[in-house]
Amino acid sequence: MTEVQEINELLKGNEHLICDLAYRRGVDFVRTIISMPHWKNPRFKRVLTSTIWGCNAQDVKTILEMPYWDNPKFSHLFTSGVWQCNAKEVEGILSMKAWDDPKFKPLLTPGIWHCTFTGVQKILNLPEWGDPKYSELLTSSIWYCNVDEVENIIHMPEWKEDKNKSALSANVLHGKENDIRRVLNLPVWDKPKFKPLLTPSVWNCVPDDVEEILSLKEWEDPKFEPLLTPTIWQSNAVEVKKILGMPEWDDPKFLPLLTPTIWQSSYYNITTILSLPLWNDYRFKNTLGPSIWQSNASEVLDILSLPQWGDKKYLGLLTPNIWHSKFEDVKNILELEKLQAPEYSHLLVPSIFNVSYKNIIPSIELFEEYGIGPYITNRCIRRSVQLQRVLLDYMENNDIPFLTVKSTGEYTLNKILNASNTDLKKKYGIDIKELESLERRK
């Protein structure tokens, strides 16, 4: 039997441990590790991964027998990532007195094994943690950063300036000191219209893009000022420049689309949407609202091309609300036979696109079951059928009427059934989530 075959035989039933490193460590080492009695304990099984072959046998034994894993504060750190450290480092990290300080609790995650004992010690001993303004930086992502770079960034004198505090966040630690300093020292931050942009999301952009975006001449045009929000950092300088330079913005009908949500889209998508000839049709002008940027160009074209728009009874549905639904959902809603019935035609209003298509028929059937089908509203359909049933049962069991009488003598749905889950609890003292939980326990 070859050595490879022998290792494969030893790892039978643990095939996930077979890898080149196991073969390089040899039969004796693999046998020593795999024959440890600790693996009979299900708790240890989860750390038995191929990364273990990078350790030495004594370290594996020592780590497995550490008492820290019985401590709730450290038990969740017992993952296969621990094999990135040797026993001395694991012991050193877990025995640090700093873990008694509540402010360091967010750092106790398995990501800590990406760092060395010296690195962890260096980070925890930074004097800046005594200043509350740095608390945003204390997240587990710190262990994936370069320790020296973290130290240099935190020590930067720029953080003493009030205007820069708004940009302090965990993701700043993934940058480079010189890049961060360059961005913070841009003179444009002294201009009131640019101040709101100095937020943590600015670090999503490279310094060249930040500088180029802020220097664009288009910001002198008042119509573009609403776009100056932190969401702009979702784009790059080339995209921003091309979007602002589009000739369509000279057309008044497109001006309502100049809102920060535009940065959720791309230049290609925006220019394709705005170049659609359908915008010259009076029927579709009312759909021009910022929510259109949630859709892509093909979805927009498909929705506007639906044959139902040739029927006047559907024209009232052509508002920006329509972009909250996908093409298939819009099509399916318009084709629902149930909504063609006189008693449910009141649901065919723009808010129908704020509800899940899959929830419409089950909700109507539920209300029919309780004898109040024709009184259902789109607000009711927003709630899941399961929760709505719990609410209806609660009202029935507590003699709360489903319908109330208006001053005109007409019946209308009780406001409770239209209330959001938050308002149910706040205004009516009905905790629907708790009711659902009680129902499940029956």
- Give the integer Cα–Cα distance in Å for 121 and 165: 26
SS (H, E, C) 392-414: HHHHHHCCCCCEEECCCCCEEEC
Q: What is the pLDDT of residue 36?
A: 95
Q: What is the pLDDT of residue 203?
A: 95
Domain ranges, ordered by start, for the chain: 1-95
Q: Which residues of the chain have pLDDT under 70?
A: 442
Residue corresponding to tokens 């029935």? 396
CB 272 within 8 A of CB 297: yes
Q: What is the pLDDT of residue 438?
A: 82
Q: What is the pLDDT of residue 150?
A: 92
Cα dist from 237 to 141, 196, 210, 213, 263, whole Å: 27, 18, 7, 5, 12
- Give the integer Cα–Cα distance in Å for 246 and 396: 58
E strand segments, 58-121: none
Element (H, E) at 425: helix 421-428
- Give the integer Cα–Cα distance in Å for 209 and 378: 44
Instruction: Indicate the pTM of the whole model.
Output: 0.79
Cβ contacts of 189 within 8 Å, gap of 6 or more: 163, 195, 198
- Give the integer Cα–Cα distance in Å for 408 and 150: 69
**The amino acid at 9:** E
Q: What is the pLDDT of residue 441?
A: 75
**The amino acid at 279:** W
Task: Give Rg (Cα) of the chain.
Answer: 31
Q: What is the pLDDT of residue 429?
A: 94
The CA angle 35-36-37, to the nearest 5 degrees, is 110
Q: What is the pLDDT of residue 20?
A: 94
Q: What is the pLDDT of residue 342?
A: 94
Q: What is the pLDDT of residue 34?
A: 94
CB atoms within 10 A of CB 60: 22
Crossing angle of helices 147-154 and 177-184, in 10° steps, is 20
- Give the integer Cα–Cα distance in Å for 26 and 253: 73
- Tell me which residue of 49, 110, 102 sits closest to 77, measured CA to CA: 110
